[in-house]
Structure 1
Amino acid sequence: FGGVQPTAVMVLDLSPGLDKVLEGFKSKWRYNIRLAERRGVSVREARREDIGPFYAILQETARRDGFVVRERWYFEKLWDELEPRGLLKMFMADYEGGPIAGILLTAMGERVIYTYGASSNEHRNVMPNHLIQWTAIRWAAENGYRIYDFRGVSPMQEGRAVEGHIAGLNRFKEGFGARYVEYAGEFDLPFRSGWYTLWRKAAPAAISLRRKLKGGAAEAD
């Protein structure tokens, strides 16, 4: 997405009520939710011991989609700090006795934020991601939250995603009736131009190297 936080997000207004929210989904999305249920996908609220399976699926997602994930201890710390205060909720989707997808939500004020999502390469045809999102949206609405924030997507220009490699995120989140919102973004004020220029050049190279090293480690496993 560039920078630290995405400048473009998708948000879903929950205030009209769940019936109206569901009506706002694209028909294919409603069909996929029913399909997942018919094929035996079940979604449950996660416990702390689910962090391990969730993280394994998140790593699988990262290898497939080409992004870098934080270390496992970060998610354990996130749970320990936020979950007891009611500021974190995690859901897992199970199929044929094992987890195949998960999402981690954080909450602030009247907003629930879809912070992390993970899905296995296997059984994607049973549509766990549609059902798990609908479960999370229902939970948010039933617990009094007004906004379900799908978070980052590609910025749009003339109705098209600028970052084509993540255009699928836009389509997926828009299918739930979410509204596109673009913020001003982040601006740097460098105090030492030489160091700043070096950082701007070195940071992308470091990220690319880390991705390659993680990818190589995954193949070695």
Structure 2
Amino acid sequence: MFDLSSADPMPHATSCDTRDRALPQSDEFAKALRLSGQTPLRLDRMQDMIVLRRKFWGRIPVAMINRADLTKPARLLEILQEEGMPRTPVLLSPERPTPELARLGALPLMTPASVAVLDLGGTRADLRARLQQKWRNRLNAAENANLRVTRQNMPIDPDHWLLRADSALQQTRGYRSWPTALTLAYAQSNPGQAKLFQAHLGNDIVAGVLILTHGDRATYHIAHSTEAGKAQNAHNLLMWSAMEWLAAKGCHSLDLGVINTEDAEGLARFKLGTGAELRKLGGTWLFWPPLGRRLAPLARLDLNLMRA
């Protein structure tokens, strides 16, 4: 059962536009960073690529570039030096495999992860047909249950139940995601682009999914389901509701995040059950300008070991 009459539609001015970037490289993410007190560097000579600047241990400056499409990595490294970072270590996590980084002297630190990306193109029937059978069966069961789905803009409330549940899960499982303040900054600086879908069973909220839209893409950000919600397959119903809404707004894809089959096998199955495809990222690399290409032989050796 659906109750979306009170939900705010995606504003026309901020709906899907011509930009096609992962969330960490989007204009919307940059706005959230600035609102939360950070000052990301925008490289206009690299199509406004976002560079984060951090200090490790409070004193070592590091530049960080996440999910950028590094079509010209050599030029990027030159521009960073021209921007006043001639000795600053650079951590690069490209959107796609970029083996040229090894030739430039960047050292591979982490093997490439894979993300699940869901194609939202086609008709509603096409979306439904791409669901895996078990996923579709659970969705059918949820649609026949006594669930009510609502959609709204994410409230600017640090004590919101979904944010509290996500923080508790991070502590329990020992991983780190966005701080609550950054999630709220995203919602506040990008009105209408942090959409909260909730499933109600009677008077109780039993599940929630927070979707962030950016350009002509969207990202699955936070989700939680209670035991009652799990019993009713509420997560499937909320995901399907989000898929339908995003497709109707013209978003072409939904990034479901990293697939981890070792520590989160159930979540991985859930994401892939939507019909999403795996897309390999580019790993994590470290480049230190003072050494540059002198590390290339070691970088190539490390790269070969990563592939072994």
2:160 maps to 1:62: no
Q: Pick from 22, 32, 40 the counterpart of residue 138 of structure 2.
A: 32
- Say whether the 8 Å CA contact 1:60–1:120 is kept in structure 2: no
Per the alignment, residue 72 of structure 1 pairs with: 180
Task: Say if 1:4 and 1:100 are closer, same or farther in 2 by CA, change over 3 A.
Answer: farther
Aligned to 1:148: 254
1:58/1:78 CA distance change after superposition, 3 Å = same
Aligned match of 1:200? none
| 8 Å CA contact retained: 2:153, 2:193 | no
The yes-or-no answer on 1:170 pairing with 2:268 is yes
What residue number does 2:202 align with?
96
Deviates more, 1:165-174 or 1:69-78: 69-78
The alpha-carbon deviation at position 191 of structure 1 amounts to 6.7
1:119 alignment partner in structure 2: 225
Indicate conservation of the 8 Å contact 2:117/2:255, yes or no.
yes
Q: Decide whether aligned partners of structure 1 residues 11 and 95 sit closer, same or farther in structure 2, where only a CA change above 3 A counts.
A: same
Q: Name structure 2 gaps, 5 residues minimum.
A: 1-64, 68-111, 292-308
Question: TM-score when scaled to structure 1?
Answer: 0.71
Q: Distance in 2 between matches of 1:174 and 1:33?
A: 14
1:188 to 286, 292, 296: 286
The 3 A distance-change label for structure 1 pair 71 and 138 is same
Distance 1:145 1:109, change over 3 A: same
| 1:154-188 superposed Cα distances (whole Å, 9 cap, x missing partner) | 3xxxxxx4xx1122232111111111110112212
Q: 1:28 to 1:132 in 2, by over 3 A?
A: same
Maintained 8 Å contact 1:8/1:152: yes
- Name the structure where helix makes up a greater proportion of residues: 1
- Displacement of 1:38 in angstroms is 2.2
Bigger CA drift: 134-143 or 102-111?
102-111
Task: Give, as a single letter, the amino acid of the residue that structure 2 aligns with 1:11.
Answer: V
TM-score (norm 2): 0.52
State the distance in 1 between where 2:168 and 2:286 align.
33
Matches within 5 A, 1:105-116: 105-116=211-222
Alpha-carbon displacement from aligned partner over 1:55-84 (angstroms, at most 9, x marks no partner): 1332344355443455433332221112x1
Q: 1:120 to 1:56 in 2, by over 3 A?
A: farther
Residue 115 (structure 2) pairs with residue 17 (structure 1): no
Task: Give how far 1:120 is off.
Answer: 2.4
Runs (5+) with no aligned partner, structure 1: 155-160, 194-221
Which moves more between the two structures, 177-186 or 46-55? 46-55
Which residue does the alignment assign to 2:87? none
Q: Is the 8 A contact 2:154 2:195 kept in 1?
A: no
Letter in 2 for 1:62: Q
Structure 1 stretch displaced more, 21-30 or 86-95: 86-95
Q: Indicate the percent of aligned positions where both proteins have the same amino acid.
A: 23
Q: Is the 8 A contact 1:61 1:121 kept in 2?
A: no
Residues matched between the structures, number: 181
> 1:48 and 1:67 mapped to 2: Cα distance?
23
Task: Specify the structure having the higher radius of gyration (Cα).
Answer: 2
Say what the alpha-carbon RMSD is for the aligned residues: 2.7
Q: By how many angstroms is 1:32 displaced? A: 1.1
Residue 73 of structure 1 aligns with an amino acid whose one-letter code is: A
The answer as to whether partners of 2:229 and 2:235 remain within 8 angstroms in 1 is no
Query: Post-superposition shift, 1:132?
Result: 0.6
**Cα-to-partner distance string for 1:86-118 (whole Å, 9 max, x where unaligned):** 432221222221222212212222211112222
